Amino acid sequence: MPRFPRAGRSAFRGSSLANTPAEAGISHPGLLHHFPNKAALLMAVLAGRDVQDLRATGTDPEALSEMDFAEQLQRAVAPTA
């Protein structure tokens, strides 16, 4: 997955797909082929982050059902007591 250096530095509403491809090292048509809009790109980034979080806790996200995935993710991000 390409890295987006500006990610997190500008708000979702203030960002544009026009600048993202150059920063990610791909063409604008290439980006639109995979992500037709900003919301689709954001969902993919968040899903990737969720998978990384689960793997960091030793959980294999591929082995989980959708409900198990949500429960494991909640445990992974829950504050420790």
Return the biggest CA–CA distance within the chain. 47
Please report, for the chain, the start and end positions of each structural domain, with discontinuous segments joined by +.
20-77
The pLDDT-based confidence of 11 (bands split at 50, 70, 90) is low
Does residue 9 carry a pLDDT above 60?
Answer: no
The pLDDT-based confidence of 21 (bands split at 50, 70, 90) is confident
Q: Checking phi first, is residue 2 left (phi over 0); if not, alpha (psi -120 to 50) or beta? A: beta
Tell me the C-alpha distance between 27 and 56, whole Å: 32
pTM passes above 0.85: no
What mean pLDDT do residues 4-14 have?
Answer: 60
Instruction: Write out the two tokens for 63.
Output: 């082995």
The length of the chain, given as a count of residues: 81
